[in-house]
Amino acid sequence: MPWHVLCSLLIIYIMKKILLLTDKPFAQVAIDGIQKVVTDAGYELKLCEKYGTDMARVTRVAADVDALIIRSDKVTPEIMDAAPGLKIIVRAGAGYDNVDLEAATQRGICVMNTPGQNSNAVAELAFGMMVMAVRNMYNGTSGFELKGKKLGIHAYGNVGRNVARIAKGFGMEIYAFDAYCPKEAIEADGVIPVESAEALYEICNVVSIHIPATPGTRMSINYNLLNRMPKNGLIVNTARKEVINEIELVKVMEDRADLKYVTDIMPDDHAELLEKFAGRYFTTPKKMGAQTAEANINAGIAAANQIVGFFKDGCEKFRVNK
């Protein structure tokens, strides 16, 4: 075989392939940015969007890739096995409950997230939903104002901090509970730390949920917590549906005709909630907290840079599996 043909084959062989696997596509401007990072590094970008339930398409396109950039896309052991060369998965976003971490670790695959990159977008949506709810879903009747109301931030991470920043502009009294964040850090932002989730729900007129879905938090927002809220309590969930005990949510909303629940993650019992609590329940049709051009650019480009750093310098900052 001629030398130049051999060289070309070698380059193709060593050129890393990165698959942007996003059922919910990024804005084109973000894809262009990711493409630039990948091309500048001498790698190739593949795209698989809007695949829905077509897992055969996913496994086919993943077969020769070295890296995955995903959003809320589920990465199962089957997908990992379909991509024998896979070395790294970067969740372009915060929550990585959609990746089977144990399976990744077993296969020697590094999993990372891109913390903070989309948090302002989620926080802004939380306020959009808050205003809509206190103005009775814009049905023309007399509602409430946020000014002077007590806002509870359930988990004080990147999104929670942005929620606190925006809440100051609304003139709200801001409280936060976070089992892992030192109370001094919360106080430094002019936010009042509380000792427990129970206390947060008891004090606050509005609670904005920002806890991740982990074995410890799944279904942890239950009747006992929600029933503690003052009259006309509003719960805003832009985190995960899994953290809500949906059966108990229905029960508490049946018992308390004053409570409202608005969410960016459609509950499994959406039809029941819609039927029973019209005007007190709202969900976006598709999770859209992080669906802004800015968040797509920030998280997508960070993910691409992290992959390049991983392959070129062995950088494992933001690795979430051991």
210 binds ligand 3PG (CB under 6 A): no
Count of residues touching ligand 3PG (by CB under 6 A):
11
Closest contact distance (angstroms) between CB of 211 and ligand 3PG is 12
Compute the distance between CA of residue 271 and CA of residue 222 in angstroms, rounded to an integer: 19
Judge whether 289 and 156 are in contact, CB under 8 Å: no
Which pairs from 25-29 meet CB under 8 Å and 24+ separation? 25/49, 25/50, 26/71, 26/92, 26/296, 26/300, 27/292, 27/293, 27/296, 27/297, 29/293, 29/296, 29/297
Residue number closest to ligand 3PG, CB atom: 93
Compute the distance between CA of residue 85 and CA of residue 65 in angstroms, rounded to an integer: 6
115 binds ligand 3PG (CB under 6 A): no
118 binds ligand 3PG (CB under 6 A): yes
Who's near 130: CB < 8 A, 6+ residues apart? 146, 206, 208, 234, 236, 262
Looking at 16, 17, 71, 280, which residue binds ligand 3PG (CB under 6 A)?
71
Closest contact distance (angstroms) between CB of 318 and ligand 3PG is 13
Compute the distance between CA of residue 271 and CA of residue 242 in angstroms, rounded to an integer: 17
Our CB check for ligand 3PG shows the closer of 69 and 86 to be 69
Our CB check for ligand 3PG shows the closer of 106 and 214 to be 214
72 binds ligand 3PG (CB under 6 A): yes
Site mask for ligand 3PG (CB under 6 A), range 23-42, x = bound: -x------------------
283 binds ligand 3PG (CB under 6 A): no
290 binds ligand 3PG (CB under 6 A): yes
